Structure 1
Amino acid sequence: MIKNYIKIAWRNLKRNKAYAAISVIGLALGIACGILIFTLVTYHLSFDTFHKDSDRVYRLYTEWHDDGIGKSNGVPQPLGKTFRNDFTIGEKTARVINFTGTLITITQGADVKKFQEDDGVAFAEPEYFDILNFPLLKGDKKRVLVAPGEALVTEKIARKYFGTDDAIGKVFRLDNKVNFTITGILKDLPNNTDRRQQIYVSYDNMDEYTGNKRREDKWGGVYSGSEVFTRLKKGVTQAQVDATTAQIVKKHYTGRDLKVWFFKLQPLNDMHFNPELNGYADKKYLWALFFIGLFLIITASVNFVNLATAQALNRAKEVGVRKVLGSMPGQLFWQFIAETALITVFAVLVAIGLSYIALPAINHLFQSEMEFDKGELAIFIVLIAVAVVFLSGSYPGLVLARFQPIQALKSKLSQKDIGGFSLRRVLVVTQFAISQVLIIGTIIIVSQLHYSQTADLGFNKDAIVLLPIPKNDNKAILSTMKNQLNQVQGVEKVTYCYRAPASQSNNSTGVNFNHRAEDEHWSINVKSADENYISTFGLKLVAGRNFFPSDTTREFVVNEMVAKKLNMKPQDLIGKMLSINGKSTTAPIVGVVKDFYNYSFHSEISPVCIMPNFHGYSTVAIKMNMRNAKTTLASFEKVWNQAFPEEFYSYQFLDDSIRKFYELDNILLTLIEAFAGIAIVIGCLGLYGLVSFMAVRKTKEIGVRKVLGASITSVLWVFGKEFTILLLIAFVIASPLAYWAMHNYLKDFQYKIPIGPEIFAESILFTFIIAAITVSYRSVLAALANPVKSLRSE
């Protein structure tokens, strides 16, 4: 019986090649998107789930309750030791401090190799590898990182540095400061972990590396790379954790800080999805992708149902003959299910091929190394295939099975007997409503990113090159380097600073204004810079003057936000005293600059103070003329290498670094553009099939109209008016859904575009153009047909 179903199904599909091709292509596109989105979602949900007892593993983080609630994934350096030594709720606790963009130097005889490690190096306590499951392939697990000067590297790093040689016992130098001997080799990190450091060194070398022995007693500052991981004992409750962290605050803070500082636990499975704590992405984006994938599969299935019901009348006599010969409705139903299954099998095979072709592009987009899990994927494909078969095949099968044989044989069945156009109207509206939601989403995301990248940031970001400079106490070297850079042809201005005005790396601290008894209830963003900073970046003074050249902090320039926080006018700040860093640095305010965006548009503009501080410079920013950029950049490298011959040279344009603020938004945009395009293609395939069907069913009507003098335009309108109404209904449904989704997306931006009517007008116009192109070709052929042949066709 099943063999007979498949044989007949194959014959029917061969007879209706266009119908079969459109159905297969539509389903394949929808299923391929489903496979890719399933792979993407399961990949991200798997992050750091492989650690033993991961449900009991947490990271401590800092929360400040003052002028709003601030959060940092970092904690004061002594917190981990206190949590471990003074309390018993943690089974294991370890500190790890990460430094990115580090230099590794390996000297073997006269051969010196330098490597710039963007993922950096982690200073870790031994217990770290008891809490997190990163297997050791070589070395003594009980002794790793116990003694100063020890290091662990991954297999990948060992091969990178030493090739096929055994890396155990080899020595490398970190940032030209500290030597480390490799005592263990870690298994390469899995793709699904947020712990990206591949070099771990002994925590006992922290003081030597930083040159600051007071960090172990410093409770007032938080470096985002200073983290604490703990595996709680079984049965520990949230109330016990809160009581413990409250005791830590009570012991180490006084006065107002007792109500400001909080330490909390972040579950390991939340780290990947919490943007407030430096997570990769909000989980809501995964849910959005999930629903997009679901909608695309529904769109493809709807497309199939649409075409199948349109073809039902063409098979009326076949059904009539089968019923007269004794076929039961159930047999007819399963016959159509067999046809649907055959189409779905072909579509699944095509979808798998498309998925394998598209996966490298997805990996490139996300900078990931996703692979298909054959077991999970096989289960997903089977489930999705079964769902598509019954979702797509049930209704058309039931329609065919209920045909009355006498009417079928006499060709007296009408559209009403297969649900008329009413069903297909609903299906077309469904398809294009989904497409228009995605189109509106694409337009809004494009507009927001364009606004973010072209709006006035309050400073100049064009043609500015940023060169990192290593920690250096030799003022003469920096002075000479600055003079040489100023002499390079094409250089307009040069400034030393900590970072550019907008940066992902920032330094915030408490602030006291004009010797008030109490510190302000907000922190200030400190930017160390020389006297050329304001002119190089084009910051605008609104009151006072720039500070005078100096190596140490003697004067401050602040932004307008400081005046707003203090409820004062900018000019009234001039001459007032400002204290930062726990009142260790105090100086008068001599100037106020216009507000500029010091983060991305996702965040509010912060209070900022700019001050000269030789020890805080880590970047040289150069405003250059781009006419001879290649030659100028080569000169920068030559000057830089003369100043720092032992370091690794690199550079970055400021506008490129700002573009990275919106990396995830650009990824989301690319995906939605792709999925919107696929949804439109699927919808247009269905639309073309329906128009073709209409052209066949209305052949005689069109012939009569033309004989009676109808113009080609009026004949085209026979086709166009039907779909115009349907697209308008789809737009009415899609608009509020798209508005709701995009309103929630824009909530993540503090500075955003308004969702105006022009966005929706663009969407409906674009949809009409695409639909018109799809419908016009087949409609024109029908309108131009010879009316004599049309009238003889029935």
Structure 2
Amino acid sequence: MIKNYLITSLRNIRRNWNFTVINVTGLTLGLACCLLIFFTVRYELSFDQHHQNVDKTYRIVRHAKAAGDKGYNPGMMLPALEALKNDYPEIKNLLACTYAMRETLITIGDGATRKKFSEPFYSVSFIAPEYFNIFSYKWIKGSPMTSLKNPGSVVLSEAQAKKFFGNADPMGKTIKVSNKKDFVVTGLVQDPPATTSLPFTTLLSFSSLKDFGAFTNWDDWVSSYGGGQMYIRLPEKLSKAQMEKNLAALSKKYRDPKDAAEEQFVLQPMNDIHFDNRTQNYAGRTISTGMIWSMVLIGVFILVTACVNFINLATAQALRRAREVGVRKVLGSTRGQLLRQYFSETGILTVLSIVLALIVAQLALPYVSEILNIQSKGVLFIKDPSILLFLLGLAVVTTLLSGAYPALVVSGYQPILALKGKMKSSGNGQSNLRKGLIVLQFTISQVVLLGTLIAYTQMKHFRTMDLGFEKDAIVSMPIPDTEGGKMEALYAKLSNEPAIKQMSFSAFTPMSRSNWQTAFKYENDTEFLDYEVVMRPADTAYVKTYGLQLLAGRMYLPADTMREYVINEAFVKKLGFKNPADAIGKRLTIGGSSVKLPIVGVVKNFNTYSLHREIIPCALTTSKGNYGTLGIKLAAGASPDLIGRIEKAWTQSFPDYLFKYSFLDETLNSFYEKEEKLFQLFKILAGIAIFIGCLGLYGVVAFMAESRTKEMGIRKAIGATAFNIFSLFSVDFVKLVVVALVIASPIAWYFMNEWQQDFTYKADISWWLYVAAGIFAIIVALVTVSFQSIKAALINPVKALRSE
């Protein structure tokens, strides 16, 4: 019996090869999307799960109560480490500070054999032995309790050791960090997995940090550095709630009463770090749980859309197979046997589609991995047991979804009517169902299409929004050393370049990933105010180089240390002044300084953070010791070899460092890399959803054209033109598309409005976007309908009537 089912199924599939190709194409695309989404979701959910005690591990973060969800900061004050260990000895060996460095220079060897490596943000970190009581590492050489105990020791990952020393044994060898201090390799660990929020590859002994120099001091309970974070594994008898009470008591004991009241220390579960957009992590990669559920929902929608295609196309073939059903029933076939027959056909097509989907998904995996920033090794899906299990479930679900309705409809035909060829259209109920399925397909397609248009509008808003400073034709490069006149020597060499309009030394560019945010006092205040100011230490050329607009007062005078302040409009407003000029002459005490310095100027607001955050109070001032960036404004038409001349001058000034540069506009665009990749993903999914929807629409038109052959013949016989018949088919589907747009618009608006909540500066979504999506969908529907409708319009009425 099974053999008979298979043979018959293969014959029918071969006989209707055109419908088979459409079915398999739709199912293949739908299943490939499901496979890739499953792979992506599983990858995201696996972050940090390789640690044995991840369920008991937390990161201590600061929460400014007044700022709500935007008031979370993972950077902790350094003195909190020893205070916690002293006051709560039960966590002494389960608490560690990870002090990760910004971009770091590593030097290997001396003289002619010297090699220099520029390590990315947060790959180099100071670590204490207690860190390994919290997190799981596989040790190849060395010991977790002794390798980082002594100052001047370093543990490397396998890949890092190979990069530094090749195939030689790294143990006992020396590396120099930032041209400051030598570290001896005392251990070797396995490379951290791609799914980690702690991507450290060079682990320096924490006991070396004081000697090396931290960004904040060890007695400052006000300032913090975002790379200095604290992690804790709670012992069995200590609950999260109790530990947070301990943190509150610690804050009250050691901090200024006002600071302790306005900001609390809270525990963030390690399992949440990858999914919490409010706080960043060392990997620089987060994804919201809402986005994961959206991906799952899109996968389900695309699979349903592909199955709807199968249903519509199978229904279109049902009339052709009516006589076959009648003969089978007359010969004794039961409805159950017919059901099994049609399910076997569906199963064969599903298995074929799954095989093709595996191939398509594997070919698309590198591209999808690049878009979604997935560090995949490109291993064949077939080697993964979880993928095989998922495929099995997918095959069963797809077969049931795709085959159930057509099998029930066809197996229910009455044999007498079927043999007489009087099986016409399937009745209003089934007709409405088909129309409903088409509306469902186009609703899904238009939701994704509208999402794509809204994402494009938001990204365009990012690119065109006035940031309050100039970003074009500006090159920035690091200044690793401010001592010994090296900065001045570099400036003198570059001053002779006619293609350079302006130059400025500063701590940061106007908008930067790195920011110095600190507390301040106003005039005669004895306590710090309840909000912080972001600092922009820079020389006097900063305003002209970056095109900032001075609204009142003057620029501060040249100096090596802080002498005067220029503040922004947001600062003026926070101080309570309506006019910028009113702030001139007022005095501020910023950070840990006790010196009151005057405000001498006010600049127009400019964005210091990405557009995810609003503009906050900002102060510009001179502070040569904090300068770490040189910004160069290029003249129009600068020659391509100018960068080479800049590099030569820079290398002469800083021969012990690696030259790197970047264009400011490209750097700022990278702030929205996640959104750009999401936009690319939307475009792909929109294209797939629309294509699959068109296949389904083609199936319905094919069904209508076949079931209404006589009607078309009669209409042509009494004078209907080809355009009349084309319109007859098209109008029905235009109505369905309009209905789908009405349903899709509020759905798309809701989800994209939620997505835009992550941005302080949102693009206005115009009504024309919805109209454009509707027009596009109508055009696509008309193009899809045109082939079958024109074919029906051109049919010979004699042949159409003879078919009856």
Q: What TM bracket, shorter-length normalisation?
A: over 0.9
Match status 1:333 vs 2:336: no
| Residue 143 (structure 2) aligns with | 140
Distance in 1 separating the partners of 2:106 and 2:420: 86
Equivalent pairs counted in the alignment come to 792
User: In 2, are the aligned partners of 1:63 and 1:71 still within 8 Å (CA)?
Assistant: yes
Q: CA separation in 2, counterparts of 1:685 and 1:211?
A: 62
Corresponding residue for residue 71 of structure 2: 70
Structure 1 segment 129-208 matched on structure 2, within 5 A:
129-208=132-211
1:243 matched residue in structure 2: 245
Residue 324 (structure 1) aligned to one of 314, 327, 330:
330
Are the equivalent residues in 1 in contact too, given 2:223–2:518 (CA < 8 A)?
Answer: yes
**Bigger CA drift: 386-395 or 410-419?**
410-419
Change (3 A) 1:346 1:629: farther
CA distance in 1, matches of 2:51, 2:33: 30
Asked whether the 8 Å contact 1:309–1:418 carries over to 2, the reply is no
Q: Which residue of 2 aligns with 1:278?
A: 280
- TM-score normalised according to structure 2 size: 0.96
Conservation of the 8 A alpha-carbon contact between 1:428 and 1:726: yes
CA offsets 1:200-222 (integer angstroms, 9 cap, x no match): 0111111221178x822222111
More moved, 64-73 vs 310-319: 64-73
Q: Which amino acid aligns with 2:718?
A: L
Distance 2:191 2:580 in 1: 55
Q: What is the match of residue 222 of structure 1? A: 224
Tell me the residue number matched to 1:79: 80
Cα distance in structure 1, aligned partners of 2:442 and 2:576: 52
SS, match of residue 487 in structure 1: coil
Contact 2:313 2:696 in 1 (8 A): yes
- 1:754, distance to aligned residue in structure 2 (A): 2.1
Q: Please say if residues 482 and 624 of structure 2, whose CA atoms lie closer than 8 Å, have aligned partners that are also in contact.
A: no
1:546 aligns to 2:534 (yes or no): no
Q: Aligned pair 1:386/2:396, yes or no? A: yes
Match of 1:624 in 2: 634
Deviates more, 1:444-453 or 1:712-721: 712-721
Residue aligning to 1:260: 262
Counterpart residue identity of residue 7, structure 1: I
**Code of the aligned partner of 1:446:** Y
Q: Give the match for residue 692 of structure 2.
A: 682
User: What SS does the aligned partner of 1:578 have?
Assistant: strand
1:504 corresponds to which letter in structure 2? R
CA distance, structure 1, for counterparts of residue 200 and residue 575 of structure 2? 42
8 Å Cα contact 2:455-2:679 kept in structure 1:
yes
Checking the alignment, whether the CA contact within 8 Å between 1:399 and 1:418 is kept in structure 2 is no
Q: Give matches, 1:529-540, under 5 Å.
A: 529-540=538-549
- Describe the superposition over 1:539-596 as per-residue Cα deviations: whole angstroms up to 9, x where unpaired: 1111111112221111111110012212212110011111110343531111111111
Task: Tell me the percent identity.
Answer: 40
Q: Equivalents in 2 of 1:456, 1:356: separation in Å?
A: 42
Alignment partner of 2:619: what SS? strand
**Amino acid paired to 2:583:** L
TM-score (norm 1): 0.97
The answer to whether the 8 A contact 2:28-2:356 is kept is yes
Q: Does the Cα contact within 8 Å between 1:89 and 1:232 map onto a contact in 2?
A: no
Quick one: which amino acid aligns to residue 22 of structure 1?
I
- Deviation per residue, 1:652-705 (Å, 9 max, x gap): 111111111111111111111111110011011111222233233333333333
Q: RMSD of the alignment, in Å? A: 1.7
Task: Tell me the secondary structure at the aligned position of residue 623 of structure 1.
Answer: strand
Q: Is the alpha carbon distance of 1:509 and 1:585 closer, same or farther for their aligned partners in structure 2, counting shifts above 3 Å?
A: farther
State the shift of 1:108 in Å.
5.0
- Equivalent runs, 1:764-775 vs 2, <5 Å: 764-775=774-785
Residue type of the alignment partner of 2:680 = T
Post-superposition Cα deviations, 1:420-476, rounded to whole Å, max 9, x if no partner, equal 4211101100000000000000000100010011111111011111101103222x2
Q: Which AA in structure 1 matches 2:50?
A: F
* CA displacement at 1:127 relative to structure 2: 1.3
Superposition deviation, residue 278 in structure 1: 0.2
SS at match of 1:354: helix
1:638 is aligned, of 641, 648, 652, to 648
Distance 1:156 1:586 in 2: 50
Kept after mapping to 2: 8 A contact 1:499/1:618 = yes
Find the residue that maps to 1:216 and give its secondary structure: coil
In 2, Cα distance between equivalents of 1:701 and 1:10: 33
Q: Answer yes or no: is 1:366 the counterpart of 2:375.
A: no
Inter-partner Cα distance in structure 1 for 2:525 and 2:428? 82
Report Cα offsets for 1:369-400 as digits up to 9, x if no partner.
22547111111111111011111111111111
The letter of the residue matching 2:787 is Y
Cα displacement (A) at 1:534: 0.7
String of CA shifts for 1:472-494, please: whole Å, max 9, x gaps: 222x2211211222222311110
Following TM superposition, by how much is the alpha carbon of 1:89 offset from its aligned partner in structure 2, in angstroms? 4.7
Distance 1:581 1:752 in 2: 33
Is the 8 Å Cα contact of residues 403 and 417 (structure 1) preserved in structure 2? Answer: no
Cα distance between partner residues in 1 of 2:420 and 2:793:
29
- For residues 428 and 6 of structure 2, the distance between their equivalents in structure 1, rounded to whole angstroms, comes to 24
> CA–CA distance in 1 between the matches of 2:396 and 2:177?
57
Which of 722, 726, 735 does residue 732 from structure 2 map onto?
A: 722
SS at match of 2:601: strand
Amino acid at match of 1:484: K
Aligned pairs for 1:431-510 (under 5 A) are 431-474=441-484, 476-510=485-519
Aligned to 2:7: 7
Distance 1:361 1:624 in 2: 36
Cα pair 1:67 1:522 within 8 Å, conserved: no
Q: 2:618 & 2:110 partners in 1: Cα distance? A: 46
Letter in 1 for 2:743: I
SS at match of 2:200: coil
Inter-partner Cα distance in structure 2 for 1:109 and 1:517:
55
Query: Per-residue deviation at 1:77?
Result: 1.1
Q: C-alpha deviations, 1:244-287, integer Å up to 9, x for none?
A: 10221122113312202321111111111112110512221111
Deviations 1:679-738 (A, max 9, x none): 011011111222233233333333333333322221210210111111111111111111
Q: Unmatched 5+ residue regions in structure 1?
A: none
Change over 3 Å in CA distance of 1:629–1:448 after alignment to 2: farther
8 A contact 2:425–2:707 mirrored in 1: no
Q: Which amino acid aligns with 1:541?
A: L
The answer to whether the 8 A contact 1:509-1:581 is kept is yes
Work out whether residues 103 and 174 of structure 1, in 8 Å CA contact, stay in contact via their aligned partners in 2.
yes
| Matched position secondary structure for 1:145 | coil
Matched, 1:312 2:318: yes
| CA distance in 2: counterparts of 1:221 and 1:622, whole angstroms | 30
How far did 1:85 drift? 3.1
Q: Distance in 1 between matches of 2:700 and 2:426?
A: 16
**Which residue identity does 1:13 align to in structure 2?**
I
Q: Matched residue of 2:490: which SS?
A: helix
Instruction: Tell me, yes or no, if the aligned pair for 1:67 and 1:521 is still in contact at 8 Å.
Output: no
Match of 2:17 in 1: 17
Contact 1:249 1:258 in 2 (8 A): yes
After superposition, the C-alpha distances for 1:282-331 in whole angstroms (9 at most, x for unaligned) are: 22111111111111111111111111122212111111111111111111
Q: Does 2:298 correspond to 1:297?
A: no
| 8 Å Cα contact 2:234-2:240 kept in structure 1 | no
